[in-house]
Chains A and B, each alone.
Chain A
Amino acid sequence: MPGERIEQRSRLRAERPPSTATLVIRGGRDTPDKLRSHAQRTARAWSLDGQPLLGISVFAVLDIPLDELLRRRFTSFRTIYLPTVARLAEHGFGLLATGQRPHFTIHLHRADDQELTHLLTALGAPQPNPQYARSAVWREES
């Protein structure tokens, strides 16, 4: 049975915003269409102040080193985006402290072509993930 959107305002973590130099990780290789789909999924499930929340998930490098976070959470991604908080802010994107630390949601306003293209620019070029396929599953030597 369908329910209400999950209101995020009261669920946001009460913590200081990450410093501008903080690196932000997003796994994958995005396109405007993919980002639109992900933002709309978030808006379907979540609201902020009673309005559907258009957002894209990222993780901030806060408490553990970058490589450790990549190894724990991103080994299935061949490529990652690695902008700083400052770079996102320069492009007008803010972060909401959603979920468990260090997960954040980049808050979008329209998720239209212009904003999504702008977000892709803010994320920067995708780069190889140094922890890709660092598997915990035993692999035969080839």
Chain B
Amino acid sequence: MYHVDITADLNDEDETGYVWTFLDEARDPSQIKPGSLVVAGDEDAAAICQVIDLTPAGDGTIVHLKLLPGLVDDYRALVERALAS
């Protein structure tokens, strides 16, 4: 069960080739900035993504997300390894 920063359907892509979702689906939209790393998806399927850009569309703002390789758990293990004394 994941607690994501921004809800998205990780199957969604547009002509940019990036995953997209709406900014107002973020837990804290102020943290969603180009270059930020976030956990995107839903409680069942999530991935680490990099925010690419924010674009007005429809009645809100679309966030483009670059899927990064690996599972969320892999990044936790990576950080724990790096910080281990």
> A-side interface residues toward B, CB under 8 Å?
1-6, 11, 26-29, 34, 38, 41-42, 44-46, 56-59, 73, 75-78, 98-100, 103, 133, 135-140
Contacts and interface: CB of A to CB of B under 8 A. Distances in A.
* Majority secondary structure, A binding face: loop
15 contacts: A2-B60, A2-B61, A6-B14, A6-B58, A26-B11, A34-B42, A45-B20, A76-B45, A76-B46, A76-B71, A99-B15, A99-B17, A103-B13, A133-B71, A137-B71
Interface in B15-48: 15-17, 20-22, 25, 41-42, 44-47
A5 B81 contact: no
Q: Which of B11, B44, B46, B56 has most A Cβ within 10 Å?
A: B11
A2 B24 CA distance: 12
Nearest to A135: B70
Interface residues of B, number: 37
Contacts of A28: 9-11, 42, 44-45
Q: Is the interface of B mostly helix, strand, loop or mixed?
A: mixed
A27 B17 contact: no
A45 B74 contact: no
A38 B9 contact: yes
A137 B74 contact: yes
A117 to B, nearest CB: 18
Contacts, number: 104
A105 B81 CA distance: 41
B58 A3 contact: yes
Contacts of B12: 38, 41-42, 57
B77 A45 contact: no
B71 A138 contact: no
Most buried by B among A5, A11, A38: A38
Contacts of B72: 76
B14 A29 contact: no
B43 to A, nearest CB: 10
B75 A137 contact: yes
A81 to B, nearest CB: 10
